[in-house]
Chain A
């Protein structure tokens, strides 16, 4: 990156209006989307989309041929190419051959992707975008900052200025007036244009039909008024059958803008007569641009299911802060990083993908169920394989993946920090490390890690069940008291707890940075240690570790080619439980009795990203807190990321800080005396933030509250 990304970040973050506008949009969007999906079985709709788009992605080439045959039969001319340059040239040549000088366009990501406008303009053609947002962006000589709302980063004052220049008349920043000006100006363009260019939201192989959705109605004018219509369509828009259009029509407007349907949907099959009655020409340019290659990639094929609704972007906490000009190229947000890696170059995605905090908010809303964070991790892995890890990170992961060296380092750090630690917290670090304590205090590394304390906790004899405790680095070295609470609770449920000494870092930091080789070494150490424990279950009180043990060890080992190890990891995964889900069940089954007592005022619960979205647990911890006698008050956005994201908060403190600030504000507004959570990483972030700001609100782990009520 780094300089370029840093300066773009700084500029976006300095623009307070941008962040305020994006975050207001985020809130309004969430409400509108929820209303639009009322009465719709979202999971069933996702199944349908995954099936329809997945089926199509599996046979892109055949579908392109069938589309070509059907559209040609209906009178269209189809040009297929894998090369963006050829696609651009085709359109320019068409203009030159027919002497066409004026082009009107409706919104199309495919034309952005192939940089069509610049090519046509360089060839002397006048091109006018007619989607209002696209026209604004064109006048501003910028690129869209959002796939659905291209000009969301501009204010009405800025638009008024752009329009004033264009029409040579002083315009006020009055939105209806500005829209009326656009209508007037662009109506003339429509009527004078020789050629209309559109994209398509769906292309149906069975019938050769193009489906185009707009709210403004501009695509209807673009496809009707000029005599020639060119549609530039990425092959991933193909579906097999006409009936396959329906789930896309049901999902796209709801997910994009919270509408039941866009104002206009046009379905065009071959050239319908032109507006003056003359015969119409329809050209369809089908662009592959590495999509077929993507379809053959076992990991990335799923990204071809994307219907470009941008809901992933709308719920992204990072996008909401910095907008699309930082977090994206032609395509924005996390999905933008993935598409850029293919349509442009792997290298081109490096900066954007690094901005993903891995909170998984997008995985909950993507109608095509694309696992964007996972694909970003995969991208990181490939970037590391191609270009190598930055030297410092490489050295760090080498230490973390060597258990003995890592633990020795942490013990040494416990001594080294002494001058800075007070009351278990570090508020300042000297010079080069000070970034780490700017936004929050850090927990001091414990004098005695949990692994040493564990030896003194006597275990019940003749227990019915023997469980292994996987502690994780943060509880082990920063929050050993939480580890002790976990053991006490499990003991109270009649379980013997063993602590496999060979356990080490879960590998999540290495994995999320793309250092899969280091993560695989962690994985083997952990599989070996936990197998040897001879336990019925493995319990972890860190959701990130739990996700690693349950899902990622096997995936990491598999992608590094250790297949036998991967199988062992899968067997182990079936035994892994997160603390809250397991203990809530023990309470339900009557194996653990809690002594309800009055809490010190209400508590509010923060959903950790990994626990809620990767493990689907959000109700169990709440049930458990209530069983322990705590009055639970819900905060707003309880499942929004706290901004920690592991080492993310160190790499991008400027993004982490405002995300944390929003979380703390929601905590304060709840009026609760304590904020409770399952993740020691969130605890580090939120607890550190509260300490730093001097709030009297306590930050606690669920295990501590439960242990107090045994």
Chain B
């Protein structure tokens, strides 16, 4: 399942990583933040919307020291000034290379759509075969804002030339976590 997911997600322009533990996921994310030159300046910050996958593995203080400009308080203003947003996904669909989250909390959406880079954490075990299977398992009356994401933001509206990153992220990094609890 993971292999198909990776192939389809990469075909849609997503970067896919797989790590053995939540701790390794945090480490990988910190590396991304550093390479993206996140710093405490407007337009260069980062927002991290915590979730159950990495809960208990995030040392906020240590991370904030390592990456100045990183905040775990996701506000509209903060997200608008950020270069990187991090959030967690509940599900993924192998057939289409899609990740999906319950984005009813605005902070989840802000972190995943305003910054130019979006790092999305996913339990490897949460990858399902196809959309039909997933739609049977989500309840829109509970998850009031369901977001399905397949690759970065794209447009072909000028002369049909595919261009990445028009309103949403230019870069989508999916980190599949193997040993996550839950």
A residues adjacent to B (C-beta < 8 A) = 21, 25, 28, 74, 130-133, 136, 149-152, 154-156, 159, 175-176, 178-179, 182-183, 186-187, 190-191, 204, 207, 209, 215-218, 220-221, 223-225, 242-243, 245-246, 249-250, 257, 259-270, 272-277
Contacts and interface: CB of A to CB of B under 8 A. Distances in A.
Nearest to A25: B160
Contacts of A259: 12, 150
Interface string B110-153: 10011000000000000000011001100011011111111111
B154 A215 contact: yes
Contact of B166 (A182, A270, A275): A182
B156 interface: yes
A159 B167 contact: no
Contacts of A249: 131
Contact of B140 (A187, A221, A242): A242
Nearest to B163: A179
B109 A260 contact: no
Contacts of B149: 263-264
Given A220-B168, A260-B97, A269 B157 contact: no
Contacts of A136: 157-158
Given A216-B167, A269-B141, A132 B135 contact: no
Contact of A217 (B97, B141, B157, B166): B166
Nearest to B104: A272
Contacts of A250: 131
A274 B157 contact: no
A191 B158 contact: no
A260 B96 contact: yes
Contact of A262 (B8, B132, B150, B157): B150
B67 interface: no
A264 B147 contact: yes
Nearest to A262: B150
Nearest to B8: A260
Contact of A275 (B96, B106, B153): B106
27 contacts: A132-B158, A136-B157, A175-B159, A178-B158, A179-B155, A179-B163, A183-B165, A186-B167, A215-B156, A216-B155, A217-B167, A217-B168, A220-B168, A221-B113, A246-B135, A257-B156, A261-B131, A263-B150, A264-B147, A266-B148, A268-B144, A269-B144, A272-B104, A272-B106, A273-B105, A275-B106, A277-B106
B17 interface: no
Interface of B: 8, 12, 75-76, 80, 95-98, 103-106, 109-110, 113-114, 131-132, 135-136, 140-141, 143-161, 163, 165-169
B106 A274 contact: yes
A249 B153 CA distance: 18
A275 B109 contact: yes
Instruction: Give the 5 A-B residue pairs with the shortest CB-CB distance, closest first.
Output: A217-B168, A133-B157, A265-B148, A267-B146, A132-B157
Nearest to A270: B144
B158 A225 contact: no
A223 B151 CA distance: 20
A263 B151 contact: yes
A132 B166 contact: yes
Contacts of B98: 261
Given A215-B155, A261-B98, A275-B109, A179 B165 contact: yes
Contacts of A268: 144-146
Given A216-B166, A221-B113, A267-B145, A207 B140 contact: yes
A263 B106 contact: no
B157 A150 contact: yes
A211 to B, nearest CB: 9
A273 B106 contact: yes
A263 B154 contact: yes
B158 to A, nearest CB: 5
A183 B141 CA distance: 33
A276 B79 CA distance: 11
Contact of A243 (B96, B136, B145, B153): B136
B120 to A, nearest CB: 13
Given A175-B158, A183-B166, A216 B153 contact: yes
Contact of B80 (A25, A179, A191): A191
Contacts of A175: 158-159, 161, 163
Contacts of B131: 246, 249-250, 261
Contacts of A273: 104-106
A130 B96 contact: no
A183 B167 contact: yes
A350 to B, nearest CB: 31
B14 to A, nearest CB: 10
Given A207-B141, A216-B153, A263-B153, A221 B167 contact: yes
A103 to B, nearest CB: 16
Contacts of B166: 132, 179, 182-183, 216-218
B154 A220 contact: no
A252 to B, nearest CB: 12
B144 A246 contact: no
Given A217-B167, A264-B148, A179 B158 contact: yes
A701 B93 CA distance: 52
Contacts of A257: 156
Contacts of A176: 163
